[in-house]
Amino acid sequence: MASSFILSKYQGLGNDYLIIDAEKNQSLLAGKKIALLCQRGVGLGADGVLYGPVLINGRRGVRIFNADGTESAISGNGVRIFAKYLIDQGYEKGPEFSIETLSGSIPVKALNQRSTEFCVQMGKPSFLSTDIPVDGEAREVINETFTFNGQPYQATCLTLGNPHCIIFMDKVSKEAVTALGPYVENAPIFPNRMNLQICRRIDRENLDIQIWERGSGYTRASGTGAAAAAVAAWRLGYVENRLNVNQPGGMIQIDIQEDGSLSMTGTVGYIADIRVAEGFFS
């Protein structure tokens, strides 16, 4: 690999991504190389890779890859991070524009002059099993009993372009989500694997969550995960339509419209530009 291969690193509430600029680098890394690059202690360390700007459906967009090299249709934090990168690099003058993803066009808006806080329109979730997907008869998957690792859990599942399973508990912790996450992610009933959020309702305007992401494992923050937890809690009648979702990496505000459409507001920060060593992948 040429020594001129340069990446940028950004984070959103501790959810960190490497950006491979398609205009400045000749090629996208393959899955195994992405996984090596994202591996902490060996590579640069990241929760995933953003590749762009690229054309998707004829519009400027981004491709999103998990830490294991698999591709994801959407990431709320990833979109916020890429929005800042586009402004930082002069691709967008801001403050309002859209970013194309494999799950559709995502409107974003920078909320300050430094472009460190963004509002992202996340679209409308679907609780339909055929959309998520969840095996079995066609139905909305709301407060349904599932068995994971031999134990029953009441869970609500939905998709925001990627699938989420939300389980409410009296206590949430890294240890709890790390113990349960692999069983939920790889449960046979979820044919495309599954993201997990375990949640604790604080009051009608606040949730605590812990996150296990398919393809990445334990994650300090997730935009789509926070949005999924919020709209699941709202659908179950636990919260109001504006609420704060508290994660280990920080807080994201979620607003829910009457039709269930979601917007997410949160911060993002630039970390560094990094030159990859020529022999790193050899």
**Is the pLDDT assigned to residue 30 strictly greater than 90?**
no
Instruction: Encode pLDDT of 3-23 as tens digits.
Output: 457 899 999 999 999 999 999
Q: Is residue 61 part of a domain?
A: yes
* pLDDT at 1 exceeding the cut of 50: no
Q: Assess whether 154 and 236 both reside in one domain.
A: yes
Does residue 139 lie within any of the structural domains?
A: no
Q: Is residue 89 part of a domain?
A: yes
Amino acid at 79: V
Q: What is the pLDDT of residue 278?
A: 77
Residues 76 and 16 in one domain: yes
Do 179 and 211 lie in a common domain? yes
Cα–Cα dist 225/211, whole Å: 7
**Residue % of the chain over a pLDDT of 70:** 99
* Domains: count for the chain: 2
Q: Which pLDDT tens digit goes with each residue over 171-228?
A: 999 999 999 999 999 999 999 999 999 999 999 999 999 999 999 999 999 999 999 9
Residues 87, 149 share a domain: no
Pairing of strands 59-66, 48-56: antiparallel
| Domain-located, residue 136 | no
pLDDT band at residue 273 using 50, 70 and 90 as cut-offs:
very high
Looking at the fold, whether 65 and 112 belong to one and the same domain comes out as: yes
Burial class (CB in 10 A: 0-12, 13-18, 19+), 14: middle
For 71-100, what is the mean pLDDT? 96
What CATH number is given to the structural domain containing 33? 3.10.310.10
Can you tell me whether residue 94 is helix, strand or coil?
coil
Residue at 58 is within a domain: yes
> What percent of the chain clears pLDDT 90, i.e. is strictly above it?
90
Answer whether 134's CB lies under 8 Å from 141's CB: yes
Residues 47 and 151 in one domain: no
242 and 148 share one domain: yes
Where in the sequence is the domain holding 119, given as residue range(s)? 6-123+268-275
Tell me which residue of 213, 278, 281 sits closest to 6, measured CA to CA: 278
Residue 185 domain flag = yes
Q: Do residues 171 and 93 both lie within one domain?
A: no
Q: Is residue 130 part of a domain?
A: no
Residue 214: inside a domain, yes or no?
yes
* 172 & 108 share domain: no
**DSSP letters spanning 147-189:** EETTEEEEEEEEESSSEEEEEE-S---HHHHHHHHHHHHT-TT
User: Is 149 in the same domain as 105?
Assistant: no
* Same-domain pairing of 112 and 208: no
Shared domain for 249 and 149, answered yes or no, is yes
Q: Which two tokens stand for residue 276?
A: 């990859």
